[in-house]
Structure 1
Amino acid sequence: MIKKIAFLVFSAAGLCLTSAVNADEQQEKFNQYVVELKAQALEKGYDQALIDQAFATVKFKKKVLKADKNQPEVKETLETYLPKRVPKWKVDRARKLYAENKTDLEKIAKEFGVQARFIVALWGLESNFGKIQGSFPVISSLVTLAFDGRRETMYKNQLWAALDILKQGHIDIENFKGSWAGAMGQTQFMPTSFMAYAVDYDKDGKKDIWQNQLDAFASIANYLKQAGWNDSLTWGRQVQLPESFANQYVLKRGTRSRKEWLTEWKVSERDLSQWQALGVRRVDGTDLPNVSVTAALVMPDDMNGRMYLAYDNYKALMHWNRSYYFATSVGFLSDQIGYPKI
Structure 2
Amino acid sequence: MFTRRFLPACSLGLAATPALVRNARGQGSFSSFLDGVRTEARRNGVSANILNQAFANLQPNDRVLELDRRQAEFTQTWPQYRDARLSQTRIDAGRRAYAENRALLQAIEARFRVSSRIVVAIWGMETNYGSFTGNFNVIEALATLAWEGRRATFFRAELMAALRILDAGHVRVDRMRGSYAGAMGQPQFMPTSFERMAVDFDGDGRRDIWDNKADALGSIANYLARSGSGWREGEIWGFEVQLPGRFDTTQADHRQMRAVAEWARMGVTRTRGSLPQGGDWAIVIPGLSRGDTQAFMVGQNFMQIRRYNPSNFYATAVGLLSDRVA
TM-score (norm 1): 0.83
Structure 2 residue aligned with 1:183: 183
Q: CA RMSD in A?
A: 2.2
**How far off its partner does 1:310 sit?**
1.0
Partner AA of 1:194 in structure 2: F
1:244 aligns with 2:246: yes
Matches of residues 1-342 of structure 1 in structure 2 within 5 Å? 29-71=29-71, 73=73, 75-227=75-227, 228-251=230-253, 265=255, 268-284=256-272, 287-289=274-276, 291-302=277-288, 304-338=292-326
Structure 2 residue aligned with 1:13: none
Larger radius of gyration: 1
CA contact (8 A) 1:276 1:287 kept: no
SS at match of 2:29: helix
- Paired with 2:318 and 2:292, the residues of 1 have a C-alpha distance of 22
Range with bigger deviation, 88-97 or 294-303? 294-303
CA contact (8 A) 2:78 2:292 kept: no
**How far off its partner does 1:85 sit?**
1.1
Structure 1 runs not aligned, ≥5 long: 1-18, 253-264
**How far off its partner does 1:110 sit?**
1.4
Range with bigger deviation, 240-249 or 171-180? 240-249
**How far off its partner does 1:74 sit?**
5.8
**How far off its partner does 1:229 sit?**
0.9
User: Can you list the C-alpha shifts for 1:68-119, whole angstroms capped at 9, x where unaligned?
Assistant: 1124846322222111011001101111111111111111111110111111
CA contact (8 A) 1:229 1:316 kept: yes
User: Can you list the C-alpha shifts for 1:270-327, whole angstroms capped at 9, x where unaligned?
Assistant: 111221111110124x5412x2211111121226421111100011111000111111
CA contact (8 A) 1:237 1:309 kept: yes
Structure 2 runs not aligned, ≥5 long: 1-16
- Paired with 1:28 and 1:151, the residues of 2 have a C-alpha distance of 16
- Paired with 1:171 and 1:47, the residues of 2 have a C-alpha distance of 15
CA contact (8 A) 1:50 1:167 kept: yes
- Paired with 1:203 and 1:34, the residues of 2 have a C-alpha distance of 35
- Paired with 1:149 and 1:23, the residues of 2 have a C-alpha distance of 8
Q: For CA contacts below 8 A with separation 6 or more, give which structure has more relative contact order.
A: 2
Partner AA of 2:299 in structure 1: Y
- Which protein has the bigger helix share? 1
Partner AA of 2:77 in structure 1: T
- Paired with 2:90 and 2:45, the residues of 1 have a C-alpha distance of 45
CA contact (8 A) 2:118 2:319 kept: yes
- Paired with 1:121 and 1:21, the residues of 2 have a C-alpha distance of 41
- Paired with 2:141 and 2:295, the residues of 1 have a C-alpha distance of 38
CA contact (8 A) 1:27 1:60 kept: no
Partner AA of 1:314 in structure 2: F
CA change 1:184–1:20 in 2 (3 A) is closer
**How far off its partner does 1:221 sit?**
0.7
**How far off its partner does 1:62 sit?**
0.7
Structure 2 residue aligned with 1:7: none
CA contact (8 A) 2:27 2:149 kept: no
**How far off its partner does 1:125 sit?**
0.7
Partner AA of 1:230 in structure 2: R
**How far off its partner does 1:217 sit?**
1.1
CA change 1:242–1:140 in 2 (3 A) is same
Q: Give the aligned length.
A: 304
- After TM superposition, what 4+ stretches of structure 1 lie above 4 angstroms from structure 2? 19-28
CA change 1:292–1:168 in 2 (3 A) is same
CA change 1:189–1:33 in 2 (3 A) is same
Partner AA of 1:206 in structure 2: R
Structure 1 residue aligned with 2:12: none
CA change 1:22–1:115 in 2 (3 A) is closer
- Paired with 1:21 and 1:149, the residues of 2 have a C-alpha distance of 13
CA change 1:66–1:322 in 2 (3 A) is same
CA change 1:245–1:205 in 2 (3 A) is same
SS at match of 1:251: coil
CA contact (8 A) 2:18 2:60 kept: no
CA change 1:199–1:238 in 2 (3 A) is same
